[in-house]
């Protein structure tokens, strides 16, 4: 007889495993199925999806290792620390990253046991709705569920005519497995993943060239942040970034990869030893049997959902990268919690206006809410306060003074509408602005909060004070 559940979650990435844990915590009989996309050495599916296996976590592990190497080779000297004969053992760096992935993905299996989520190894798809229950296929078994949460995530977008072999031409998966520093690294795509991957290998000694189709650099970020990032990445760090290019042809041979492209100056050729293709992600909806049950997709192939992640089918929900909105792990997790709470009749919600964005380059870039260009375009009157890290004692002590914090507030109500950081620890500092915005704080509220001294968080404090031109240390 088919097993019956209150909730079946399809996909064990951050959106899916969090939805499953929350549903089980709320007393629902819950299962989560995951197929073999990220199998362990024994062929068992690993939980954690893109994020834990080939995304957020492994990339941040490599970013940190490469940052330490960069410090040892460049930054230590200013502190009077002389380190001689520094070298990098890339395979050891990769093994360390692999161990972190194994530890975390195994940890989710432990959480499933703790919260009594049934883990089903196998590919999940719809069969039909029968007597108010969803009849589903998981591997070779049939399973019945009152509610289905689709959390099948996304995979790397590949470009037509550019075959990814994950040896010479790699996507995020191959880029995170590279065992030697390529002398010349090419990257297609100057988005978050391209910049992060480019940074890792640049710090370890590669000559990195990034080709980007869009003529503007980091167009989603506040323009002042994007301008500062461009200056630091290109002039100070030596990343070569070409914007507005059109890729014509990519070929591989014994000497590596050759990329023919066109820009304003005409036809160009980039020769490199390895090429990373980082041109975005496509939602995983194939194989769900979506069309047969009438599950509606949007024009971009994502599952269409409302503000509460409910699909057009009764008791079918979808969360994470497979639906609209930013492809970020924490956004998917919030949606997972929201849906589980909605299923039991609670007021689950996700505030899409306060989802933080982070780019883990050095300096880090982080923001929440509206950019100045958003506010101008919408005709919203605003005031801006901007403070450089150079004015902060802690940043000076650390020798890390690049960048600034900018706070944007409504000109009449003073409510904080956005915060933008480029600088050291931006990923951690942005949390204060997220909390402030979530509570509807004004710039004055933030300016009246006592911040520990000396800390980097004082830059956020001063930026809030700067909104009303009453800074104390600048």
Catalytic residues: 453
**Residues 463, 470: contact at Cβ < 8 Å?**
no
Whole-Å CA distances, 153 to 16, 210, 234, 408, 466: 9, 26, 33, 33, 41
Q: Kindly tell me which residue out of 65, 66, 154, 311 binds ligand FAD, with binding defined by CB under 6 A.
A: 154
Choices 240-248, 327-335, 370-378, 431-439 (CB under 6 A): range interacting with ligand FAD: 327-335
Rounded distance between C-alpha atoms, residue 97 and residue 106, angstroms: 14
11 binds ligand FAD (CB under 6 A): yes
* Part in contact with ligand FAD (CB under 6 A); list of ranges 6-14, 68-76, 107-115, 433-441: 6-14
Residue keyed to tokens 């910049």: 195
Binding footprint of ligand FAD, residue count (CB under 6 A): 39
Q: Of 5, 8, 9, 12, which lies in the binding site for ligand FAD, with binding defined by CB under 6 A?
A: 12
Annotated binding residue 321: yes
- Among 20-28, 65-73, 82-90, 329-337, which window interacts with ligand FAD (CB under 6 A)? 329-337
Residues 365-424 that bind ligand FAD (CB under 6 A): none
Strand partners, 463: none
Binding segment for ligand FAD (CB under 6 A), chosen from 54-62, 84-92, 381-389, 413-421, is 54-62
132 is in an annotated binding site: no
Q: Are the C-beta atoms of residues 421 and 429 closer than 8 Å to each other?
A: yes
Is 385 annotated as contributing to ligand binding?
Answer: no
Give min distance, CB of 233 to ligand FAD, in A.
18
Consult the annotation and say whether 181 binds a ligand: no
Q: CB of 239 within 8 A of CB of 198?
A: yes
Query: Is there a contact between 189 and 157 (Cβ–Cβ < 8 Å)?
Result: no
Rounded to whole angstroms, the Cα distance separating 69 from 89 reads 10
In the complex, minimum distance from the CB of residue 394 to ligand FAD, in angstroms, rounded to a whole number: 24
Other beta carbons within 10 Å of 436: 24
| CA end-to-end distance (rounded Å), the chain | 71
> Is 432 marked within a binding site?
no
Q: Does 364 bind ligand FAD (CB under 6 A)?
A: no
Q: Is the peptide bond before 418 cis (omega within 30 degrees of 0)?
A: no
- Asked whether the beta carbons of 36 and 20 are under 8 A apart, the reply is no
Min separation Cβ 323 and ligand FAD, Å: 8
Q: Which of 23, 55, 247, 338 binds ligand FAD (CB under 6 A)?
A: 55
Pairing of strands 184-188, 274-277: parallel
Q: Is 65 annotated as a binding residue?
A: no
Any known ligand binding at 244?
no
Please report, as residue ranges, which positions from 280 to 299 form the binding site for ligand FAD (by CB under 6 A).
284, 287-288
Residue 293: count other Cβ atoms within 10 Å of its Cβ.
17
Closer Cβ to ligand FAD, 11 or 182, answer by number = 11
Q: Which of 35, 201, 233, 389 binds ligand FAD (CB under 6 A)?
A: 35
Binding mask 106-145 for ligand FAD (x = CB under 6 A): -----------------xxx--------------------
| Residue 191 binds ligand FAD, judged by CB under 6 A | no
- Nearest to residue 364, comparing CAs of 186, 207, 232, 452? 232
Q: Does 15 bind ligand FAD (CB under 6 A)?
A: yes
Q: Does 433 carry a binding-site annotation?
A: no
- Length of the chain counted residue by residue: 474
27: exposed, middle or buried (C-beta count within 10 Å: 0-12, 13-18, 19+)? exposed
Annotated binding residue 212: yes
Check if the beta carbon of residue 113 is closer than 8 Å to that of residue 282: no
28: tokens are 């629902």
CA 195 to chain centroid = 12
Cβ proximity to ligand FAD: between 123 and 410 the closer is 123
Contact between 426 and ligand FAD by CB under 6 A: the answer reads no
By beta-carbon proximity to ligand FAD, the closer residue of 148 and 446 is: 148
Q: Shortest distance, CB of residue 325 to ligand FAD, whole angstroms?
A: 10
Query: Is residue 222 within 8 Å of residue 386, measured between CB atoms?
Result: no
How far is the C-alpha of 384 from the C-alpha of 390, rounded, in Å? 18
369 is in an annotated binding site: no
Part in contact with ligand FAD (CB under 6 A); list of ranges 21-29, 35-43, 65-73, 367-375: 35-43
Q: Is 320 left (phi over 0), alpha (psi -120 to 50) or beta?
A: left
Of positions 5, 8, 14, 212, contacts ligand FAD by CB under 6 A: 14
- Compute the half-sphere exposure of residue 110: CA atoms within 13 Å on the CB side of its CA: 6
The Cα–Cα gap between 203 and 69 comes to 7
Residue 423 among known ligand-binding residues: no
- Nearest approach, Cβ of residue 427 and ligand FAD (Å): 8
- Which one of residues 30, 65, 105, 172 is an interface residue with ligand FAD (CB under 6 A)? 172
- Interface residue with ligand FAD among 88, 145, 151, 466 (CB under 6 A) is 151
Q: 156, 166 in Cβ contact below 8 A?
A: no
Beta bridge partners of 135: 128, 144
* Least Cβ distance, residue 336 to ligand FAD (angstroms): 8
Binding site members for FAD: 60, 124, 152-154, 321, 327-330
Contact residues for ligand FAD, defined by CB under 6 A: 10-16, 33-35, 37-38, 49-51, 55-56, 59, 123-125, 151-154, 172, 193, 284, 287-288, 320-322, 327-330, 332, 360
């Amino acid at each position: 007889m088919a097993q019956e559940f209150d909730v079946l979650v399809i996909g064990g990435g951050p959106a899916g495993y969090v939805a499953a844990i929350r549903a089980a915590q709320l007393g629902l009989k819950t299962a989560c199925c995951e197929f073999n996309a990220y199998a362990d050495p024994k062929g068992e599916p690993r939980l954690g999806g893109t994020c834990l296996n080939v995304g957020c976590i492994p990339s941040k592990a490599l970013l940190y290792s490469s940052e330490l190497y960069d410090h040892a080779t460049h930054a230590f000297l200013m502190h009077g620390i002389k380190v001689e004969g520094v070298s990098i053992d890339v395979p050891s760096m990769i093994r360390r990253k692999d161990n972190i992935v194994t530890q975390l993905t195994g940890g989710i299996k432990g959480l499933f046991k703790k919260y009594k989520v049934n883990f089903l190894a196998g590919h999940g798809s719809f069969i039909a709705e029968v007597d108010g229950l969803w009849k589903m296929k998981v591997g070779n078994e049939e399973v019945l569920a009152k509610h289905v949460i689709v959390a099948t995530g996304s995979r790397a977008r590949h470009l037509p005519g550019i075959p990814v072999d994950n040896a010479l031409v790699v996507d995020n998966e191959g880029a995170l497995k590279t065992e030697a520093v390529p002398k010349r690294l090419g990257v297609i795509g100057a988005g978050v993943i391209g910049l992060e991957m480019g940074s890792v290998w640049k710090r370890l000694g590669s000559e990195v060239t990034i080709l980007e189709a869009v003529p503007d650099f980091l167009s989603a970020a506040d323009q002042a942040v994007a301008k500062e990032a461009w200056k630091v990445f290109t002039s100070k760090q030596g990343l070569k970034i070409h914007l507005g290019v059109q890729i014509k042809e990519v070929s591989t041979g014994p000497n590596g990869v050759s990329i023919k492209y066109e820009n304003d100056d005409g036809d160009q050729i980039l020769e490199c030893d390895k090429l990373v293709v980082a041109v975005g992600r496509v939602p995983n909806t194939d194989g769900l049997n979506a069309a047969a049950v009438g599950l509606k997709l949007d024009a971009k192939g994502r599952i269409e959902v409302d503000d509460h992640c409910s699909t057009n089918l009764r008791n079918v929900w979808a969360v994470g990268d497979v639906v609209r909105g930013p492809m970020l792990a924490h956004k998917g997790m919030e949606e997972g919690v929201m849906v589980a709470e909605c299923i039991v009749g609670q007021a689950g919600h996700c505030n899409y206006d306060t989802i933080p964005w982070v780019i883990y380059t050095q300096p880090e870039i982080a923001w929440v809410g509206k950019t100045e260009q958003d506010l101008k375009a919408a005709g919203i009157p605003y005031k801006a306060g901007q403070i450089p890290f150079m004015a902060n004692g802690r940043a000076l002590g650390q020798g890390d003074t690049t960048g600034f914090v900018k706070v944007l507030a409504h000109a009449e109500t003073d409510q904080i509408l956005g915060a933008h950081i480029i600088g050291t620890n931006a990923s951690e500092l942005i949390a204060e602005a997220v909390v402030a915005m979530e509570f509807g704080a004004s710039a004055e509220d933030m300016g009246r909060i006592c911040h520990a001294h000396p800390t980097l968080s004082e830059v956020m404090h001063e930026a809030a004070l700067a909104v009303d031109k009453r800074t104390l240390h600048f």
